[in-house]
Copies of this chain bind each other. A is one copy, B any other.
Amino acid sequence: MHSVPNPRVNQLLAMLPDEDYRQLLPGLELVALPLGQIIYEPGVQMEYVYFPVDAIVSLLYVMEDGASAEIAVVGKDGVVGVALFMGGETTPSQAVVQSAGQAYRLGARRLKDAFRRVGGRRQGVLHDLLLRYAQALLTQMAQTAVCNRHHTLDQQLCRWLLLSLDRLPSNHLVMTQELIANMLGVRREGVTEAAGKLQRAGLIKYHRGHITVLDRAGLEARSCECYAVVKRECDRLVLQGTSAKRGKTGSPTGTVRDGAR
């Protein structure tokens, strides 16, 4: 249960060449991230970046009137706290643990040193990797904006479940409908209805805060194109380095459907 996981379960750490990884290793510290923990608050200086292993962290903006909306989600595919190496130090948004788990954290000082280190044989591999991840995050936020504008709650719920699923080790997530509603920025009742449809269709099964995904392909078919776009871009930017494509949209890369509508 509480065994020590390999830091390189995190995809960013996994992508580092051994040499760069070994330089980082002494600074990495395993921490538990319980559900609901706030990793950073808007406007407050961050002390660490977090490389999740099996936890999921939501970046969300809380408005003056208390309403909230998720703008991106980070799991083993990325790192929480990009503002530290982007140079802003803080953001107007908040980071909250959406699914409990573990992460490796790295002190701000150590991160920045490693980020800026250009010397040595290798030419800022970590630097480039983190920037590509930041671009993936940019894409995710953009797509969230589009999705919020144009797509139905049903579609958005599918997208959200898939994004979460991709970042978890199993097909089971611990998550009440109330929490999902907060993330999506909708009413709880709306989620109840949308989730009910999915359950009746046999795609998921849920019970008092536990959701099990039964038919992943079915979710993909019901989801909007947003999930596919984000997934493809994440894979391209983080897992494959750059590989710029020529020609509109290029060919799909992920495990995602393309023709479905």
Contact = CB atoms under 8 A, between A and B. Distances in A.
Contacts of A200: none
Given A87-B131, A87-B132, A92-B229, A71 B247 contact: no
A44 to B, nearest CB: 6
Contacts of A61: 142-143, 145-146
Contacts of A132: 86-88
Q: What range describes how many residues of A lie at the interface? A: 35 or more
Contacts of A20: none
B145 A67 contact: no
Interface stretch (A28-36, A99-107, A204-212, A237-245): A237-245
Interface in A222-261: 225, 229, 233, 236-237, 242, 244-250, 261
A27 interface: no
A9 B72 CA distance: 34
A154 interface: no
Contact of A128 (B87, B91, B135, B229): B87
Number of copies: 2
Contacts of A237: 87-88
B225 A261 contact: no
B134 A44 contact: no
Contact of A145 (B141, B225, B242): B141
A14 interface: no
28 contacts: A43-B248, A43-B249, A45-B245, A45-B246, A63-B150, A67-B150, A71-B141, A71-B142, A71-B145, A82-B138, A83-B135, A86-B131, A86-B132, A86-B134, A86-B138, A87-B237, A88-B233, A88-B236, A88-B237, A90-B244, A91-B138, A92-B142, A134-B134, A134-B138, A138-B141, A141-B142, A148-B148, A148-B149
A-B CB proximity, top 6 nearest? A89-B244, A145-B145, A148-B148, A86-B135, A141-B141, A71-B142
